[in-house]
Structure 1
């Protein structure tokens, strides 16, 4: 009986953690990803991509 309670408790903690990660990744007002490091690793710089494409086309 005690083992079942421990398993349920660990499962609920894991489910809560996953829900928190999902919530932070979709509804966070801060820039960056759910890791919380504050880096802009998930931002897309379209101007940089365009410059890279033009540079590759110029080399051909």
Structure 2
């Protein structure tokens, strides 16, 4: 009976370690993805909040 109890305890510990490992991989992957993905907003986000140059005539010097 004690061997069965220690086997079940080891199985639970293994499951918890695997769950923690998967959570850590997900956390690190999310941090990396957020650092390399384009940011929301800013000048290059095409939010139409910049200066409108359509009515300005280009002049060459």
Q: Which has the higher helix share?
A: 1
TM-score by length of 2: 0.46
Name which one, 1 or 2, has greater alpha-carbon Rg. Answer: 2
Answer 1 or 2: higher relative contact order, Cα 8 Å, separation at least 6. 1
